[in-house]
Amino acid sequence: MPRLASANLRGGLPQDELVRLLAVCVVATVDVVTPRAAQHQPGTELAQAVGLDMATWWKPTADSYFRHVSKAVLLEAVAQFAPEYVNRLAKLKKADIASEAERLVEGTGWMPAVFETGHDTEPQEGAQGTANEADAPEEATKEEAAHALAA
C-alpha cells in the first residue's frame, strides 16, 4: 500500500493500535463454534496461525462447560482425562458428575474438541484415513456440536 494511502487508512494511529483495531473488526466475522463438514476447521487453522492456546485463557469447569453438555458427552469427556472414574461416575446424577469432572480435570490440560488446535502436530498432507475414519465424521460432528453449544 502506498505510504500516503497507508497514513490515511491509519488516521495517524500507531501500527500496534491499528492491528488491534483490525483484530476487533475481524473477530466479529469469525465463527469457530459452528461445526463444518470440512476436515479442516477454520478455527483450528486460525488458532494455529496466531499461536492461540485456549488452555491459557479458559479452563473447563462445571459452570463453564460440564453442566452444559449431555450426560453422555460429559462421561465421554471424563473418559479422556480420567478413564478409571467413568464407571463410578455413570451412576451419579449429571450435576454431581459435572462437579466431580471439574475436580478430576484440574491440571490435565484437557480441552473440549472445539478448543483443540492440534498446534503440537503438523498436518499431514496426503494422509489417507482408515475405513473406520469414514464413519467418524458424523459422530465427530455430533460431538463438536455438543461442545460448541456448551461453549
Walk along the chain (151 residues) and give the pLDDT tens digit of each residue. 455 455 556 567 888 888 888 888 888 887 777 766 766 667 777 788 888 888 888 899 999 999 999 999 999 999 999 999 999 999 999 999 999 999 999 999 999 887 776 544 343 343 333 334 444 444 444 455 555 445 4
Query: Cell 486460525 identifies what position?
Result: 46
pTM of the model: 0.57
Name the DSSP class of 35: -
Name the DSSP class of 30: -
Please give the full DSSP string across 42-86, using - where no structure is assigned. HHHHHHHHHT--HHHH----TTTTGGGS-HHHHHHHHHHH-GGGH
